[in-house]
Amino acid sequence: MQLPVSFSERMQRLLGDEYNAFVAALEQTPPVSIRVNKAKAPISPGLKPVPWASSGYYLPERPSFTLDPLLHAGAYYVQEASSMFLEQALKQSIDLDESLHVLDLCGAPGGKSTHLASLISKDSLLVANEVIRSRASILAENVTKWGSGNVLVTSNDPREFSRLPDFFDVMVIDAPCSGEGMFRKDHAAVGEWSEENVNLCAQRQQRILMDVWDALKPGGLLIYSTCTWNEKENEENIAWLAAQEGVESIKLEVQPEWGIIPTQLNGLEGYRFYPHRVQGEGFFMAVVRKPGEPAAIQHGKSKKRKYKLTLAGKKEKALVANWLQEHAQYTWVQYGEVISAIPEVLFEAADEIYQNLYVLYAGTEVAEVNGKKLKPLQGLALSQDLNKAAFDIAELELEQALRYLRKEDIRVGTNGSSWLLLQYKGAPLGWAKQIGNRLNNYYPKEWRIRMELPQEIQDTNILF
């Protein structure tokens, strides 16, 4: 790998005697890691854990993830291990049992958003945002597959969050960056790197920070990260923010054996990940608190307020109410032809998001109204709160599951006229409609597997 001269000189200054080990690590095969959705899947014995993430695991080699139906079922997410350090930033800085409003500002493709959804309480609200609309659709797909039910996916420029002053208890900004930490995984990134781009990225990151700052509550937590190593996009940006807003730096406890390098600039703490030190890619994170005391949180629906979200009709609600498990309390809303379930305690906050931002996906999309008929939706099939007892179920073999995910016709040996929930190894994949002994495949066409299936299909056995 031919590294740019100015990059090499800077890394030699940062790493000193460790520089040669760093360069050697860039020539090695990147490690493979996943984060398991514990609400959907058990853990296979023998997987090596990611030390700073309770549901993160390393795989001995990279399988063909596309050919594992459990990935499409949201049983796990393929995520770079260093970025899972987000878990430590949260657990060591805030009470995750509280009801929180959390923003993942640059959420696509969904690694940190799905991680956040697993860490916060069920009565907390996560807003997962992505400004680029095509990437926001991918984010919505991955959030739907994870199935938490307390997430809203939005697609807005950071400056539009100023419409929500003092709204969020936690902001996660995994800022667009020059990508130095991805050199090992993406050799093309080396040729695209330049000092000019580093400067442009640093300026853009400062704009993003200022654009969303007012939406963070006094006393709220900002978790800032990049996948790059230069100080301009990392320590210097945090120091710049501190000079602007007087933030309090949060120090995290890291175990020496983790290999993470703590750093400081002007008394502000940061954490660096280098590939020769950790089993992961390049990464930087800092955690700061906004000055001031938060106002008291008030939950519940206000009778005086005019809502944008429309409640579903009593008849429609009665038809779908038992499609989700009874332990959760929902407000059933209808937006266009879609009936969604939003946790009751989050309804007012969700409506405020709808009032001010562009929302792609909210809560759990349960059914589509078509005259007097209701069609169950993909979000329901993948929900962690799906009530399987309300539906007929067909268990698929591996090849059947993959053909279903390719949106091909399959047969399962059933006969009737009902909706059928198709699953693989007990994990729901989606819906089919029985018409006699034939099945209509209702897997979302934009999600379908496009690669050709090999002649011999082998089970990856990652989780089971």
157 is in an annotated binding site: yes
DSSP β-ladder status, 373-376 and 392-395: unpaired
Q: Record the tokens describing residue 416, joined without a space.
A: 């009737």
Q: Record the tokens describing residue 338, joined without a space.
A: 């879609």
Determine the residue type at 182.
M
Contacts of 414 (CB under 8 A, 6+ apart): 392, 394, 420, 434, 437
Please answer whether residues 225 and 86 qualify as being in contact, where contact means their C-beta atoms are separated by less than 8 angstroms.
yes
Measured CA to CA, the distance from residue 77 to residue 38 in angstroms comes to 11
177 carries an active-site annotation: no
Short-list 36, 38, 73, CA closest to 428: 73
Among candidate residues 106, 177, 201, 227, the one labeled active-site is 227
Please answer whether residues 286 and 268 qualify as being in contact, where contact means their C-beta atoms are separated by less than 8 angstroms.
yes
Short-list 141, 167, 145, CA closest to 40: 145
214 is in an annotated binding site: no
Measured CA to CA, the distance from residue 463 to residue 44 in angstroms comes to 5
Q: Count other Cβ atoms within 10 Å, centred on residue 3.
A: 15
Contacts of 395 (CB under 8 A, 6+ apart): 423, 424, 426
Q: Which residue has the tokens 């291990």?
A: 81
Q: Count other Cβ atoms within 10 Å, centred on residue 378.
A: 19
Measured CA to CA, the distance from residue 454 to residue 451 in angstroms comes to 9
97 is in an annotated binding site: no
* Bridge partner list, 33: 58
Measured CA to CA, the distance from residue 360 to residue 379 in angstroms comes to 13
Annotated binding site: 130, 157, 174
- Active-site positions read 227
- Residue ranges of the annotated binding site for S-adenosyl-L-methionine are 130, 157, 174
